[in-house]
Amino acid sequence: MSAGENEDAIERAALLLALRQRGLRDPQVMRAFEQVPRELFVEPAFRRQAWRDQALPVDCGQTISQPTVVALMTEALELKPAHRVLEVGTGTGYHAAILGHIAGHVVTLERFRTLAAAAARRLAGLGLSNVEVFIADGLLGYPAGAPFDRIVLNAAVAEVPPALFGQLAPDGILVAPVGPPEGTQVLTRYRRGIEGLERRELSLVRFVPMLPGVAAVL
């Protein structure tokens, strides 16, 4: 093992320990984090920081979220192998890979063609044939695949778009960072119950804003 690989192994072990110390208890989620090589999903310039618990910049002005936030969001979804999941904001495909190791089928939407194409290559390289990447306006969701058992937003919204709530199955869960696009948001979980949507605030977070439409060039 090279010095770089040894350093990666140490930082990876430290990150997994940090996830446990922060209360991550779902064995499926922990197993997914162990299986997905985060170094494949970061830019080459940040390769040495791949296993640190921090957000990192990626192409098109986007970010790959810090692992502890991804873990919190994933655990809040209460995923099961039979679930169909809609992810809005593919980015590099890292969160989609985590989801794909747990859920039966994942549809992930990205507005930037460059990011979508690169993510699709990474996911295919990992053998995650149950994850489909589409170029689409995430604010509109993916009606052709609805309803979804779980929906997760990887970008901030002032309010969750009605179209996404409309694609959530009965007893479904939606997790999103809700709040001012340029400020601090509240990671919020919604569950569709018999009497309507049940709302629960989870944590303060900072995400890039969700933008409408499909990017014209990138």
Given 2, 65, 129, 203, the catalytic residue:
65
Bin 110: left if φ > 0, else alpha if -120 < ψ < 50, else beta.
Answer: beta
The answer to whether residue 65 is catalytic is yes
115, two tokens: 């990011």
Cα 61 from Cα 66, distance rounded (Å)? 16
Which residues, including other chains, have CB under 8 Å from residue 170's CB and lie 6 or more apart? 147, 192
CA–CA gap between residue 102 and residue 111 (Å, rounded):
24
Contact 140, 163 (CB under 8 A): yes
Q: At what angle do helices 3-21 and 67-76 cross, to 10 degrees?
A: 40
Just list the catalytic residues.
65
